[in-house]
C-alpha cells in the first residue's frame, strides 16, 4: 500500500515513516504542503496529513484530494484542539482525526482499519465480481487471475465507476507516477477488456476511459 505522509516536524515525520515501512507500506513523506499538494495524484491508497505545515495547509491539501478521490481514506494529525478546525476537517472529507501528541501505534491501527481494502469482492454486475485480495475477476463462478497492473486498473475503474478516468490518472495510479507511454496504457486496457467478457470499458477520445455500469 502506498501512503502520502505530510508532517512538517522532521523528527516525527521520520519516525512515522520508519514505523510504517516496517509494515511493508510504501511511504512518500513531505514536510511542505505545496510539495504534498503537487503529488496527490501519484497513486496513493491512503493520506496522512498534518494541518499546520508550510506554504499550503493540510485542509487545502485535503480539499484538493477530494477533487480527485472521493473514497480514499484521509487521516488528519494535528496539535490543534479548535473545534471549528476539527469540524472543517470532517466537512471536507477526512475519515479520522488524531490529536498530537499520539502513540504511533494509534496511527498504525487507524491506517490498518481505514486504509485497507475492506471487501474481498466488489460486485460490478449480476454474476461478476472483482476480488482485490486474490487479484481475480470472477464471472459466473469462473476465476480469471489478474496481474498487478490489471488489478490496479480494475480497482481504479471501480473506485471511479461511471466517471471519466484520464490517461494521467491511470499512469499515476497503476504505474505509481512513473512515466508510461500511451500505447502501454492502451495495451493494458485491451487485456483487461478481454477478462471482463462484456464491454464495460468505453473509450473517451483523447482523454481516457469510463467504466460504465448501469445503476
CATH architecture for the domain at 121-211: Orthogonal Bundle (1.10)
CA 207 to chain centre: 21
Fold (CATH) for 2-114: Rossmann fold (3.40.50)
Domain ranges of the chain: 2-114, 121-211
Q: Could you tell me which of 101, 95, 103, 113 has the C-alpha nearest to residue 48?
A: 95
Q: Where on the phi/psi map is residue 72: left (φ > 0), alpha (ψ -120 to 50), or beta?
A: beta
Identical fold, 2-114 and 121-211: no
Q: Taking a C-beta distance cutoff of 8 angstroms, is the pair 129, 41 a contact?
A: no
Three-class secondary structure of residue 215 per DSSP: coil
Return per-residue pLDDT of the chain as tens, 215 residues: 889 999 999 999 999 998 888 887 889 999 999 999 998 877 788 999 999 899 999 899 998 888 877 778 999 998 876 777 788 888 888 999 998 888 888 898 899 888 865 556 778 888 888 876 677 888 887 888 888 889 889 888 887 888 999 998 888 778 866 789 999 999 999 999 988 878 899 999 999 999 998 75
Q: Taking a C-beta distance cutoff of 8 angstroms, is the pair 86, 43 a contact?
A: no
Q: Taking a C-beta distance cutoff of 8 angstroms, is the pair 63, 88 a contact?
A: no
Amino acid at each position: 500500500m502506498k501512503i502520502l505522509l505530510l508532517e512538517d516536524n522532521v523528527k516525527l515525520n521520520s519516525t512515522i515513516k520508519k514505523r510504517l515501512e516496517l509494515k511493508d507500506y510504501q511511504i512518500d513523506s513531505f514536510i511542505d504542503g505545496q510539495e504534498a499538494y503537487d503529488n496527490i495524484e501519484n497513486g496513493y491508497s491512503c493520506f496522512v496529513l498534518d494541518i499546520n505545515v508550510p506554504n499550503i495547509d493540510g485542509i487545502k491539501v485535503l480539499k484538493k484530494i477530494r477533487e480527485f478521490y472521493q473514497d480514499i481514506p484521509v487521516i488528519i494529525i494535528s496539535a490543534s484542539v479548535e473545534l471549528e478546525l476539527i469540524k472543517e476537517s470532517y466537512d471536507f472529507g477526512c475519515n479520522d482525526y488524531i490529536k498530537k501528541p499520539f502513540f504511533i501505534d494509534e496511527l498504525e491501527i487507524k491506517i490498518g482499519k481505514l486504509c485497507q481494502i475492506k471487501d474481498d469482492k466488489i460486485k460490478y454486475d449480476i454474476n461478476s465480481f472483482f476480488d482485490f485480495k486474490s487479484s481475480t475477476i470472477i464471472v459466473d463462478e469462473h476465476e480469471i487471475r489478474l496481474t498487478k497492473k490489471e488489478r490496479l486498473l480494475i480497482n481504479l475503474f471501480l473506485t471511479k465507476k461511471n466517471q471519466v478516468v484520464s490517461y494521467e490518472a491511470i499512469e499515476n495510479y497503476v504505474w505509481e507516477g512513473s512515466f508510461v507511454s500511451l500505447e502501454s496504457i492502451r495495451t493494458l486496457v485491451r487485456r483487461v477488456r478481454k477478462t471482463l467478457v462484456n464491454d464495460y470499458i468505453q473509450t473517451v477520445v483523447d482523454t481516457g476511459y469510463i467504466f460504465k455500469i448501469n445503476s
